[in-house]
A = this chain, B = another copy of it.
Amino acid sequence: MDHQFIIVISLSLFTIMPHQSLIDSIEKVLTLTADEKVLLKGSFQTATAKKKDILLKEAEITKYSYFVEDGLLRMYATDNNGFDHNIQFAMNGWWMSDMLSLLNQTPASFNIEAIEDSRLLTISQPAKETLLQSIPGLNIYFRKLSENALAAYQQRFAINLSLPAQERYGKFCERYPMLIQRLPQKHIASYIGVTPEFLSKMLNRPFNQK
């Protein structure tokens, strides 16, 4: 009885506390004062996206960085033949943006789409710059964020250049086990750089030999 009651309270606290997962993410790196938290919350807007909503369209100028409070996004490029190529996914607690478009305010090369209904925090580039001046410590947070992302991209490049499709799939499963169940197979195919047909064939090869 008591136990159930506590669960209800914590759930409702959660729903009336957006920004909390962002603050948690930041406080793994540095401590924020109460004032700073207020400032931080004020700099972000909450947003929701339904499955299949497009948050950023190729050729638009990127306005926002996205922080996923809950849900799942993908960023993809479209090739000359109209096929998608997934560059990155973002789930709970991850950031996503077309960095080049965001930094240089040039037209985006990528699209960002919600794969699941999602709750997001968004911050505009000017607001981010103001925020970084008000809370210089955040430079540490964003530095580490970018450094880690960079490390991941380097690894992924090595994998993509060195390994055949079968092993690229294996590495994806190792690294993102939590995504395997949530993602339609075609999106994994696009991420590892094969067609959905080929991935299907590969996964259904008897005994998965070779």
Contacts and interface: CB of A to CB of B under 8 A. Distances in A.
Given A110-B158, A154-B87, A155-B109, A147 B148 contact: no
B85 A158 contact: yes
Contacts of A25: none
Q: How many identical chains are in the complex? A: 2
A179 B40 CA distance: 43
Interface string A70-97: 0000000111100101011000000000
Tell me the dominant secondary structure on chain A's binding face.
helix
Given A146-B150, A156-B157, A161-B193, 19 more contacts: A77-B162, A80-B162, A87-B161, A98-B154, A99-B147, A100-B152, A109-B155, A109-B158, A110-B154, A110-B158, A139-B140, A143-B143, A146-B149, A149-B150, A150-B150, A153-B153, A153-B157, A157-B157, A160-B160
A190 to B, nearest CB: 8
Interface in A1-48: none
Interface string A150-193: 11111111101111000000000000000000000000001001
A198 interface: no
A163 B80 CA distance: 8
Interface string A41-76: 000000000000000000000000000000000000
Contact of A163 (B79, B98, B103, B161): B79
